[in-house]
Amino acid sequence: MNVLTAARPLDVVGDFPAIPDGWAYLDTAATAQKPRAVIDAITRGYDTSYATVHRGVYQRSADMTLAYEAARRRVARFIGAASPDECVFVRGATEGINLVAQSWAAQHLKPGDRILLSLLEHHSNIVPWQLVADRIGATIDVVPLTPDQSIDLDAMAAMLTPAHRLVALAHVSNVTGAILDARRAADLAHGVGAKLLLDGCQSVPRLPVDMAALDCDFYVFSGHKLYGPTGIGVLWGRAELLDAMPPWQGGGAMIDRVSFAGTSFAPPPGRFEAGTPHIVGALGLHAAIDYVDAIGLEAIHAHESALVEAARDALAGFNSVTLYGPADSAGIVSFSIEGVHPHDIGTILDEGKVAIRAGHHCAQPLMEALSIPATARASFGVYNGPRDIEALVTGIERVTRIFR
């Protein structure tokens, strides 16, 4: 298939020990496989240098504290944060969004205020806002999509009012791969005095991001989608916003002084990091960022864009296949096959050693809008290449033969 020659592999699959030869892993949007550099960093962290942080006066604890805070500085450089203190370590994007909902939104929203989301949001960027809106008496509005399942910013501009206090949108959709014009979204939100939170789970592994250029107010992402470990993620927030936010969990490390007469709290980011943190997770995230930066996000985006183009062109050759999302999606291709449930597609592909995601992708409102129960989703990473697309296409041919 000459269409596959458009995809130029990065030839780094050998860095990923969990990907055996002949296995096409096309579920990176759910979680990325881990390069040896990340696995080694985690192993070293537990094996030869493990100790607690921010507490011990002995040398190893001091060294681990330095390594932990070095990871925070590395995150700050990676996303263009003005200061490491703007970067809060959380368990993942879900916790980061909940933190903003329970701390910032719970403090600033009042009855009658409005929150603006989009139709393609992940459940993690819907449910936390529903919880706080129900408690406070705020209202949630939903931005519709364009015909290619991108967020309709023209519609958003028409919907925004001074009553909107917060806008929360996916920077890249986990279903369609649509890339948001984040700066325009920020300008629109700020034009009515609203804050903007961006879900960067799918964008940070694929696109260069810079907080100053995006001009958002909060940004969240998960380490495990960035080739790092699970259980670690980042909430970035403007310094003045974080400084004014109350803690949302209490415990060790997030305090200044505790007495039964009252407690004072540490400044950000410590204020939001109660308890013993995921120390080795931060070290693994540091290693993952180093790995991605060594390849270059521009090269990664070009690589994945070529794979998306090749996959879409190949799948478009099947009359029974419907493709979703824009042609220039970021590393993600969602599709359905007429008369075949996506779970059956996934099962048959798995028999041919092709791993995809099949389901509603934690985006049930989007599925309802598309009038389908689910989609099949192939999502790419640095380790994928033309052979993976060939395996996907061969699997789809088998699906269509079985259900013909």
Give catalytic residue positions: 362
DSSP letter for 88, please.
E
**Based on the number of CB atoms within 10 Å of its own CB, is 157 exposed (0-12), middle (13-18) or buried (19 or more)?**
middle
Q: Is 164:340 a contact under the CB 8 Å cutoff?
A: no
- What is d(CA 328, CA 318) in angstroms, rounded to the nearest whole number? 20
| 3-class state of residue 175 by DSSP | coil
Beta strand spans in 188-285 (E): 195-199, 218-222, 233-237, 255-259, 262-265
Rg (CA), the chain: 22
Nearest to 283 by CA among 107, 61, 15, 75: 75
Q: Is 140:169 a contact under the CB 8 Å cutoff?
A: no
Q: φ, ψ for residue 326 (rounded to 5)?
A: -75, 155
Sheet with strand 321-324: strands edge to edge: 321-324, 332-337, 375-379, 357-359
DSSP letter for 186, please.
H
Q: 């903003």: which residue's tokens?
A: 100
DSSP letter for 116, please.
E
Give the other-Cβ count within 10 Å of 48's Cβ.
8
Would the CA dihedral through 219, 226, 91, 287 be positive or negative? Answer: negative
Q: Dump the DSSP string for 283-323.
A: HHHHHHHHHHHHH-HHHHHHHHHHHHHHHHHHHTT-TTEEE
> Per-residue b/e over 317-339, b at no fewer than 16 CB within 10 Å?
ebeebebbbbeebbbbbbbbbee
